[in-house]
């Protein structure tokens, strides 16, 4: 039995893959401890995973003013010493980092204690944490086609984004039923990532009348704190009662995405991976202020794979016509769905779990420890 500490909090895009890998490892009889932040999105997302062990830890992102960045450095130093104490107490075989502000202190502390570090990068443009920790890592997991300068090729595995087991494709009618939706014609789902997207929420408010006349209902996940749950009604195509449903958060994203005929989404790596798993054609609107413009890179990569369309936020005035044109283009939607199925090639959670256990096994051999068979 191995023990793995996983740093994965701060955003849904970091936390969700940590949960996915932890579930696989725990099913195989290994021990996982997941470090998450105090942010509301983390608390909401972990609520349904009571079978996993989570520990909330403080931390700050490296953003904002000079004063905020100095506060980050203070938080990093504090996190380093806190991590050292935790590693001494927990004695893990390996630590797995999913980027973000919780990874830096733990990664540094692990290396000073001689504990192997594995690092997962979800985006097509590697983030700051990845660039800082890459030389400390025994293994780095990257998306296909992404290069990381200065890292030996033997340290890299191309395993893509781990998706939670409860995120899976289902029939639209079944998903509608579980979500309590009545859809007279077509359904557009709008999601802004784990923290929501004000620009997309406002676009739904402003354009729902037009969409309803075209026969398009809407289900919009607004993000925590951005609105209250509510439904608005319009007389739609053929006089049908057509609705726009707004929810701040959903713990059933597999159903939400599977329910859609088309999805409009931000272009975080986690959102894209779940869209692929649920086989939903998409229009991706990258967040224009994302670090290193990584969402634009993610969206363009998805578009090049023939799985959806990328549209910049400064062209939101064109989104309604794009949605209406694509929603009723059955030929193009079928092509997108075929390419989405091709992209969902393997279970990254299983492959990462396999590799982590191989690393633990190798470390045990190097220390001359008694070994159990790999599981």
Q: What is the pLDDT of residue 359?
A: 93
User: For position 226, what pLDDT does the model report?
Assistant: 73
- What's the start-to-end Cα distance of the chain, in Å? 9
Residue 205: burial class (beta carbons within 10 Å; 0-12, 13-18, 19+): middle
What structural domains does the chain harbor? 3-163+347-367 (3.40.50.2000), 172-343 (3.40.50.2000)
DSSP-derived secondary structure letter, 339: H
Distance (Å, whole) CA 338 – CA 341: 5
pTM (2 d.p.): 0.90
Which of 80-84, 99-103, 131-135, 229-233 shows the lowest mean pLDDT across its residues? 99-103
Q: In angstroms, rounded to a whole number, what is the distance separating the alpha carbons of residues 229 and 250?
A: 11
183 vs 189: CA distance, rounded Å = 12
3-state per-residue secondary structure call for 241-256: EEEEEEECCCCCHHHH
| pLDDT score, position 128 | 79
Write down the pLDDT at residue 290. Answer: 83
Q: Note the helical H segments in the chain.
A: 12-27, 40-46, 66-90, 101-112, 128-133, 172-179, 198-213, 253-258, 269-277, 294-304, 319-327, 330-343, 348-367
pLDDT at residue 269, as a whole number: 94
Binned at pLDDT 50, 70 and 90, residue 258 comes out as very high
Report whether pLDDT(275) > 70: yes
Q: Which of 128, 111, 126 is nearest to 156 (CA)?
A: 126
| Cβ within 8 Å of residue 185, ≥6 positions away | 215, 216, 217, 236, 237, 240, 242
**At 80, is the pLDDT very low, low, confident or very high (cuts 50, 70, 90)?**
confident
Tokens of 152: 């030996």
Distance (Å) of CA 135 to CA 90, 118, 303: 24, 11, 32
* Segment among 24-28, 66-70, 168-172 with least mean pLDDT: 66-70
State the helix-helix crossing angle for 269-277 and 12-27, rounded to 10 degrees: 50
């Amino acid at each position: 039995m191995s023990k793995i500490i996983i740093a994965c909090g701060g955003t849904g895009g970091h936390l969700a893959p940590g949960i996915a890998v932890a579930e696989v490892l725990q099913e195989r009889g290994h021990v996982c401890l997941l470090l998450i932040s105090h942010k509301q999105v983390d608390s909401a997302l972990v609520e349904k995973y009571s079978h996993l062990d989570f520990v909330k830890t403080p931390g700050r992102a490296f953003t904002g003013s000079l004063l905020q960045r100095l506060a980050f450095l203070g938080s990093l130093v504090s996190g380093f010493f806190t991590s050292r104490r935790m590693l001494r107490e927990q004695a893990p075989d390996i630590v797995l980092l999913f980027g973000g502000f919780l990874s830096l202190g733990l990664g540094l502390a692990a290396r000073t204690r001689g504990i192997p570090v594995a690092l997962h990068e979800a985006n097509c443009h590697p983030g700051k944490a990845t660039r800082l920790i890459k030389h400390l890592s025994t293994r780095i997991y990257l998306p296909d086609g992404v290069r990381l300068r200065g890292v030996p090729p033997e340290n890299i595995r191309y395993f893509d984004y781990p998706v939670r087991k409860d995120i899976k494709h289902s029939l639209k009618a079944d998903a509608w039923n579980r979500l309590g939706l009545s859809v007279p014609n077509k359904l557009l789902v709008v999601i802004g990532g784990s923290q929501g997207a004000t620009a997309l929420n406002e676009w739904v408010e402003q354009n729902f009348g037009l969409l309803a006349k075209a026969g398009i209902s809407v289900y919009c996940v607004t993000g925590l704190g951005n609105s209250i749950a509510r439904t608005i009604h319009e007389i739609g195509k053929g006089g049908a009662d057509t609705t726009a449903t707004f929810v701040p958060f959903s713990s059933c994203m597999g159903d939400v995405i599977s329910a859609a005929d088309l999805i409009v989404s931000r272009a975080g790596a986690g959102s894209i991976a779940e869209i692929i798993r649920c086989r939903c054609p998409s229009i991706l609107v990258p967040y224009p202020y994302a670090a290193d413009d990584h969402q634009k890179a993610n969206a363009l990569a998805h578009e090049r794979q023939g799985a959806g369309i990328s549209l910049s936020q400064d062209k939101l005035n064109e989104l309604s016509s794009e949605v209406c044109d694509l929603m009723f283009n059955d030929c193009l939607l079928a092509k997108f769905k075929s390419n989405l199925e091709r992209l969902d090639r393997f279970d990254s959670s299983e492959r990462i779990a396999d590799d982590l256990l191989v690393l633990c096994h190798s470390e045990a051999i190097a220390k001359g420890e008694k070994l159990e068979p790999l599981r």
